[in-house]
Structure 1
Amino acid sequence: MYKFLYQEKKDTVISKQVLRSGTAIGAQSRKDFISKLSIAYKEARETNYWLRLLRDTNFINQDQAASLLLDCEELLKITGSILKTTKDKTDT
């Protein structure tokens, strides 16, 4: 997506934002893991917003958007589930 926006659409602002928000995942201790995963979840939600914006303004076509949004939503589900499980284990 980054390469497409940067090279084909000549967009630097949104392409870099998509790259940053899509790669902001990492962790260390359990507390850090929860913190970083919370950030990753937030960034994935933001990426979802940007992808919908790109679709709705016709920067990307419907097929590209559908595929990317499906992937993003899957990441949100996975990240949300891991976050919930980790928090539940930490609270017990």
Structure 2
Amino acid sequence: MDRDLKDRTKKFALEIIKLVSELPKTTVGFELGKQLLRSGTSIGANYRSSQRGRSRAEFISKLSVVQEEADETIFWLELISESNLLFEDRIKSALKEANELTAIFTTMLINSKKNSG
């Protein structure tokens, strides 16, 4: 599963990069794009970092960051969609994947906390 999530989060980061490049070159487009780019690409980076945690507590802490970034990415995608900066059809798959990743990392976090006690 580790390899799959590394690949999946990297693929998601690449999709976010493509989406951000399609945003309008306006102040709003730049600002929302910057936020989306930061949160959407940090999911994979922080997940990889969590896998190198030196302790269970460090793993849980880093995984919490992954979960927060995935959820934040949903927020930026929803704003972009609802403000009509990109067509909903263009964002739909990224939003679906962000929701799935959030659910996966939430479950992992819950299970890790249960097993650490």
Question: Shared fold by TM > 0.5?
Answer: yes
Contiguous gaps of at least 5 residues in structure 2: 1-15
Given residue 13 of structure 1, which amino acid in structure 2 is its aligned partner?
E
Secondary structure at the residue paired with 1:58? Answer: coil
CA offset digits 1:19-74 (Å, max 9, x no partner)? 22123322213211111111111111111111000000011111122111100000
Question: Equivalent of 1:23, from 23, 37, 41?
Answer: 41
Instruction: Name the CA shift for 1:23/1:8 in 2 (closer, same or farther; >3 Å).
Output: closer
Query: Are the equivalent residues in 1 in contact too, given 2:63–2:109 (CA < 8 A)?
Result: yes
Given residue 63 of structure 2, which amino acid in structure 1 is its aligned partner?
L
Runs of 4 or more above 6 Å deviation: none
Query: Are the equivalent residues in 2 in contact too, given 1:48–1:72 (CA < 8 A)?
Result: yes
Given residue 4 of structure 1, which amino acid in structure 2 is its aligned partner?
L
Q: Kindly, what percent of the aligned residue pairs are identical? A: 35
Separation (CA, whole Å) in 2 of partners of 1:78 and 1:48: 14
Contiguous gaps of at least 5 residues in structure 1: none
* Larger fraction in helix: 2
Instruction: Name the CA shift for 1:36/1:3 in 2 (closer, same or farther; >3 Å).
Output: same
> Are 1:78 and 2:78 counterparts?
no
1:33 corresponds to = 59
